[in-house]
Amino acid sequence: MITVDSYALAVVFCVLTMTCWGSWANTQKLAARTWRFELYYWDFVTGLVVFLALAALSLGSVGSVGRPFLIDLAQADSKSVISAMAGGAVWNLGNLLLVAAIAVAGMAVGFPIGGGIAWVAGIVFNYVLMVLAKGDAQKSPLLLFTGVAFIVAAIALSMAAYGRLASAVKKPGAKGILLSVGAGLLIAFFYGLVVRSIDKEFVTGGTGTLMPLTGAFLFGVGAFVTTFLFNPIFMRKPVEGPPVSMAEYWKGSLGTHLTGVLGGAIWGLGMTASFMAVGAAGPAVSYALSNAAPVVAILWGVLAWKEFAQAPPGTNRLLVWMFLCYLAGLAAVTYSNA
């Protein structure tokens, strides 16, 4: 497998992940012009698992480190497989709630709240995993948790900004926030579950037998399989609008389907980059930087999609402070292990 060995390069890979994880939802916004998010999600998760499989078969099968993907998969123990797939299942339900939140409230709300909560809780969870593994998780825990404090402030500002928008345009304010919170609480724990499936030789906190990209692939399998459990529920009991059926899915155009597949591939690229870098960066920093996706999503939602164009005066000031808090949190987390 090809891995990243230097901290500086690992940070670059994590920034790539951040960009991917903050940008994939643009494909949902594009598809939403003619396509419900429940239908979009089938294509999204297909693109995700296909990309992760291709990454494992290519990047996970070359290089001088560890075992080739197929050999690694053959020697995997059940505990590691279950842990990685459980990470996929937990993330999948959280991500479905996130795309529902985006459909209801927009990228500039769903990501800062849902992604922000996942960011904070995940940093703490992965930090604890590292402490349990080696007793000393960071060079500067104070800086790490200072970053967490800034992120919490950004989440609060996001809620306040969306509350103002919801009041102005008579949008269901509570629904978007609750969906985002539920998404964040679930997504927070997926990374640690996948990390635990990985061999400790490749990542601090790992207790399993897998190579990183094998763990990422099994994560994708877990997400794909559980979509057949979770998504039909969202289709029958939608958070917004009437129920949808699979008959409507098959009526979609090729371009619409490919838009969803592209979204999944973008997310998969981010996952691949993150797990190539996790050994050099450490789970806490790798997760923290990778999940700084709200910083990117805010820019897309506010600048590209004009999601707050109808907000009352003064809202833009809250958005600026929210963005600055996220940047401050991102900087603090980055330098906490430099």
Q: Is 31:256 a contact under the CB 8 Å cutoff? A: yes
Domain coordinates of the chain in residue numbers?
A: 7-335
**Four-point Cα dihedral 59, 62, 65, 70, nearest 10:** 80
How many CB atoms are located within 10 Å of the residue 137 CB? Answer: 23
Determine the Cα–Cα distance for residues 236 and 165; give it in Å rounded to an integer: 29
Residue at 23: amino acid letter: S
Crossing angle, helix 116-134 and helix 141-169, to 10 degrees? 160
CB 114 within 8 A of CB 184: yes
The interaxial angle of helices 37-58 and 212-236, nearest 10 deg, is 170
Contact 196, 206 (CB under 8 A): yes
Contacts of 168 (CB under 8 A, 6+ apart): 310, 311, 312
User: Which residue's entry shows tokens 């991917």?
Assistant: 20
Which residues have C-beta within 8 Å of that of residue 81, sequence separation ≥ 6? 197, 210, 218
- Residue length of the chain: 338
On whether the pTM is more than 0.75, the answer is yes
Give every CB contact of residue 83 below 8 A, 6+ residues apart in sequence.
193, 194, 196, 197, 208
pLDDT tens, per residue, the chain with 338 residues: 888 888 889 889 988 999 999 999 999 999 988 899 999 999 999 999 999 999 999 999 998 888 999 999 999 999 999 999 999 999 999 999 999 998 888 887 888 889 889 888 888 887 787 777 666 655 688 898 899 899 889 888 988 998 898 888 776 668 888 999 999 999 999 988 999 999 998 887 789 999 999 999 999 999 999 999 999 999 999 998 999 999 999 999 999 999 999 999 999 999 999 999 888 877 767 777 777 788 888 889 888 999 889 999 999 999 999 999 989 988 898 788 76
How far apart are the C-alpha atoms of 110 and 80, rounded to whole Å? 31
